Amino acid sequence: MYYIKKILEFSASHRLKLSYESKCESLHGHNWIVTIHCKSKELDENGMVVDFTKVKQLIRDRLDHTNLNDILPFNPTAENIARWICEQIPQAYRVDVVESQNNQASYEKD
């Protein structure tokens, strides 16, 4: 099994829709740090699990300097963002999302 890890950073705003009052319901921004873990039993024709540039294009280029509420069709919690990113890349099996030093979430496929 081959493994790679791609770390991306992007800036984006969001506001959460919550069942309780929170300052996170107001529009605010983060410098998100995302770690995407990918694996494959075999390498592609270029000798890669997945091209790092393709991962960047699929994720960072779509989300950087956006309001995530306008881009993503769900409540953009760190947990939901981690799952969505993992679903965008077939080789991904785990995604870690850091919205601040003290707030991190992970999603891993079964």
Check: pTM over 0.85? Answer yes or no: yes
Domain membership of residue 57 as a residue range: 2-108
C-alpha torsion 76→90→55→63, nearest 10? -20
Rounded-to-integer distance, Cα 86 and Cα 84, Å: 5
Q: Give the CATH number for residue 74.
A: 3.30.479.10
Instruction: Kindly report, residue by residue over 86-110, the tens digit of the pLDDT.
Output: 999 999 999 999 999 999 999 999 8
Instruction: Kindly report, residue by residue over 47-59, the tens digit of the pLDDT.
Output: 999 999 999 999 9
Report pLDDT for 110. Answer: 86
Half-sphere exposure of residue 11: CA atoms within 13 angstroms, side-chain side: 2
CB atoms within 10 A of CB 75: 15
Instruction: Kindly report, residue by residue over 28-52, the tens digit of the pLDDT.
Output: 999 999 999 999 999 999 999 999 9
